[in-house]
Amino acid sequence: MSDKNGGSLRAKKSLFEIDMCSGSIVGKMLLFAVPLIFSSVLQLLFNAADVVIVGKFAGDNALAAVGSTGALINLLVNVVMGLSVGTNVLVARHFAAKEDEEVSKAVHTSMVISVIGGIFLTIIGLIFAPKILVLMDTPAGEVRDLATLYLRIYFLGIIASVVYNFGSAVLRAIGDTVRPLIFLFISGVVNVGLNLFFVIKLGMSVDGVAIATVVSQCISATCVVVVLFTEKSSVKLELKKLRISKDKLIQILKIGLPAGIQGSLFSLSNVALQSSINYFGETVIAGNSAAGNLEGFVYVSMNAFHQAAISFVGQNVGAGQYKRVNKVLYSALGCVTAVGVLLGWGLFLFGEPLLGLYTTSPEVIKAGMSRLGMISTVYFLCGIMDVFVGALRGLGKSIMPMIVSLIGACGFRLLWVATVFQIPQFKYIETVYISYTISWIMTAATHMICYIVTRKKLRQVWGT
């Protein structure tokens, strides 16, 4: 691929790229992951700001309403978001192999998919989300009405979130996690400011925080699109090239669709668990929502190494550096375990004052601590599970993790809720929470076996 003067776009290397195929792995993985952690934390702050401000100034019913929508939003979004994993792997491989024309086709196909996917999610969210809230046993009355209002506004702007995530996947594929951090910092400041203005100044409720979230997502999406249009490397976006390449679409779907289905399956199991949590009433719902929101900061910090495993494995496979693949996995596992243990236990030890940021109700704080004690302290198991998934996806194997997750996470949790939880002697909130830990252990162990078998087969193909 050449520019108009005949020079290779490859020669114009971005200052934000990371060479993943040589040198220290841990150092470069941290260089990749740390900005991504901050980016993810800022993105989480969108929802955290919503929850904190709503809980403080709009009441526990509004807090429960926003919290009860989280699992449903993830369920509808994850299918399309998973496709961005296909973009990440495909762009990373072609980029490392210096196949600039193929990189360009993958980028333009991906951005078209993001727009179509965003429109699809908007329609699905507006039509079906309120009805699903009923199926989830979201408490009737004010909580359900507020949750419905929040969802309708949120999904009107979901296309911006999808475009941003696809654009970020392209940048991550070349090692750029810094500029997405800058974009999210800008949009995050706007989000918090608008939350305070709408809720405190104008007296709005969940509608105000939903509007603020949509506006902030539009800002971050605009920033990432502008960068891709002005980029000098092979990931440059051009209007005249915006079309779907059939072969790239097939490759993205092959890797990304199973990843999206896998994510939705986890969300589906969480929707089922949310229905069980809703059984215990508004106080437990609010406490669970606040604790879950705090745990989200631990999750995204660990997930940065899942993303690193995808990009690093993908690039090394594309560059033919097969011997580095296992080293990438070991480095990611070490990093994610350290981060998961440190942050998970830190969250539990300082849980009460942190939960106090969301609510002043002692009962809600007590309910939140119940969740933190059983989930955040072992959250590193989830990180280990995700790193194995990332390595498999980087190797181009996406259907296998989907099947394992279907059985080990979604299937198990649904079975648990339908059987163990229904036994009167076990109908406690702790019974719901313990299902997370058991499913993480089972699924992580199975993913590890799958990786060992896959790596052994590929070693024979690669001759290493």
The string of pLDDT tens digits covering residues 45-82 is 766 666 778 777 777 788 777 777 776 777 777 777 77
Residues in CB range of 442: below 8 A, 6 or more apart: 408, 412
3-state secondary structure of 2: strand
Residues in CB range of 297: below 8 A, 6 or more apart: 41, 44, 48, 343, 347
**pLDDT at res. 10:** 45
Residue 2 lies in a domain: no
Burial 128-161 (b: 16+ CB within 10 A, else e): ebbebbeebebbeeebbbbbbbbbebbbebbbbb
Q: Residue 172's closest CA among 310, 295, 342?
A: 310
Q: Residue 77's closest CA among 193, 178, 165, 153?
A: 165
pLDDT tens digits, residue range 29-48? Answer: 999 999 988 877 877 776 66
**pLDDT at res. 56:** 78
Which of 67-71, 338-342, 403-407, 447-451 is predicted least confidently? 67-71
Residue 15 lies in a domain: no
Tell me: pLDDT of 347 over 70: yes
pLDDT tens digits, residue range 200-218? Answer: 888 888 888 889 989 999 9
The mean pLDDT of the chain is: 86
**pLDDT at res. 8:** 43
* Rounded-to-integer distance, Cα 428 and Cα 139, Å: 18
pLDDT tens digits, residue range 308-327? Answer: 999 899 889 888 888 899 99
Residue 361 lies in a domain: yes
Mean pLDDT highest for which of 260-269, 346-355, 399-408? 346-355
* Overall domain count for the chain: 1
Residues in CB range of 224: below 8 A, 6 or more apart: 163, 164, 167, 168, 171, 179, 180, 183
Tell me: pLDDT of 1 over 50: no
Model pTM above 0.85 = no
pLDDT tens digits, residue range 99-153? Answer: 999 999 999 999 999 999 889 889 988 888 778 788 777 777 778 888 888 888 9
Residue 49 lies in a domain: yes
Residue 364 lies in a domain: yes
Question: What is residue 233's DSSP assignment?
Answer: S
Looking at per-residue confidence, does 461 or 35 come out higher?
Answer: 35
Residue 372 lies in a domain: yes
Burial 238-266 (b: 16+ CB within 10 A, else e): eeeeeeebeebbebbeebbbbbbbbbbbb
Could you tell me the pLDDT band of residue 341, with boundaries at 50, 70 and 90? Answer: very high
Domain ranges, residue 61? 24-459
Tell me: pLDDT of 2 over 60: no
**pLDDT at res. 322:** 85
**pLDDT at res. 46:** 66
pLDDT tens digits, residue range 250-309? Answer: 999 888 888 888 777 776 677 777 778 888 888 888 888 889 888 988 998 999 999 999
Contact 411, 402 (CB under 8 A): no
Residue 12 lies in a domain: no
Q: Using DSSP, how many helices (H) and how many strands (E) does the chain show?
A: 17, 0
pLDDT tens digits, residue range 150-174? Answer: 888 988 989 998 999 899 999 988 8
Residue 19 lies in a domain: no
Contact 286, 63 (CB under 8 A): yes
pLDDT tens digits, residue range 412-448? Answer: 888 888 899 889 888 888 898 899 899 999 999 999 9
